[in-house]
């Protein structure tokens, strides 16, 4: 699975980018990436990796069997412009399911970097025997990501009313979207 990396992609504006797994040596570049995420978007991330100590601990304990972190790196200067994490479960009852999280630097959101990463993740997940990918979105906050997920064949599975709370204390709905994967599909 990891042997297939790095993979080259080109953004809509012609920027050459490599997709590859995160390695411990990415700590400083990841720190810089997470610092670029606007404060009004950091509150709904699963882990507070903008905290340098938590990022360091996360990298030290990194286990590709449970979390596959993939980054998009500009080829010219090594800047990380996107981060994808595929969370896998060890329980036999849900071992066929994986959770997908993507964060793209705001300057590259209209460049299809996230879409390329999700498509790559779909292929990776299929190779790992994953049958369902799911993603969560905060309604009214991540509308662009919801549109992108819909275009990539994710379907609304559930809406959890008043499930997350923003920094102002306002409860917001959480949308869960799922993409079923067919192990018989050929390369796309």
Per-residue pLDDT of 75-98, as tens digits, reads: 999 999 999 999 998 898 999 999
Most confident of 28-37, 40-49, 110-119, 156-165: 156-165
Do residues 35 and 51 touch, judged by C-beta distance below 8 A?
Answer: no
Q: Mean of the pLDDT values across residues 152-172? A: 93
Is residue 30 very low, low, confident or very high in pLDDT (cuts 50, 70, 90)? very high
* CATH code 3.40.50.2300 for 2-180: no
**pLDDT (mean) for 100-127:** 90
* Annotated domain spans of the chain: 2-180
In the predicted model, what is the mean pLDDT of the chain?
89
Give the pLDDT band of residue 186 (cuts 50, 70, 90).
low
Could you tell me which of 138, 130, 136, 177 has the C-alpha nearest to residue 154?
A: 177
**What pLDDT shows up at residue 184?**
60
Q: What is the pLDDT of residue 26?
A: 93
d(CA 141, CA 145): 9
Tell whether the model's pLDDT for residue 1 goes beyond 70: no
Which tokens hold the place of 64? Answer: 């590709």
* Tens-digit pLDDT profile for residues 38-60: 777 776 676 777 788 888 988 99
The 10 Å CB-count burial string (b at 16+, else e) for 132-168 is: ebbbbbbbebbeebbebbeebebeeeeeeeebbeeee
Distance CA 47, CA 134 (A): 17
Q: Which pairs count as long-range contacts for 159-164, CB under 8 Å and 24+ apart, including other chains?
A: 164/44, 164/138
pLDDT at 140: 87
Structure tokens at 185: 């599909």
How much is the pLDDT for 20?
95
Element (H, E) at 102: strand 97-104
Q: By C-alpha distance, which of 9, 111, 29, 13 is closest to 77?
A: 29
In this prediction, residue 182 carries a pLDDT of 77
pLDDT in tens, 4-20: 899 999 999 999 999 99
CB 118 within 8 A of CB 104: no
- Residue 116 in contact with residue 71, Cβ under 8 Å? no
Could you give the strand order of the β-sheet that contains 67-74, starting from the edge strand earlier in sequence? 7-10, 16-21, 67-74, 80-88, 97-104, 132-138, 171-180, 155-165
């Amino acid at each position: 699975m990891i042997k297939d990396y790095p993979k080259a992609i080109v953004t809509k504006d012609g920027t050459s980018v490599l997709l590859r797994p995160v390695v411990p040596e990415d700590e400083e570049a990841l720190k810089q990436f997470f610092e670029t995420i606007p404060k009004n978007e950091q509150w709904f991330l699963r882990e507070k990796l903008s905290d340098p100590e938590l990022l360091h601990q996360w990298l030290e304990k990194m286990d590709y069997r449970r979390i596959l972190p993939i980054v998009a790196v500009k080829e010219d200067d090594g800047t990380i412009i996107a981060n994808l994490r595929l969370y896998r479960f060890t329980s036999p009852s849900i071992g066929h399911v994986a959770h997908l999280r993507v964060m793209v630097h705001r300057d590259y959101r209209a460049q299809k970097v996230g879409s390329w990463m999700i498509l790559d993740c779909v292929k990776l997940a299929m190779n790992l025997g994953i049958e369902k990918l799911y993603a969560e979105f905060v309604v009214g906050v991540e509308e662009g990501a919801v549109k992108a997920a819909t275009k990539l064949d994710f379907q609304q599975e559930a809406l959890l009313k008043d499930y997350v709370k923003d920094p102002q204390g306002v409860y917001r709905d959480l949308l869960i979207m799922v993409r079923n994967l067919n192990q018989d599909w050929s390369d796309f």
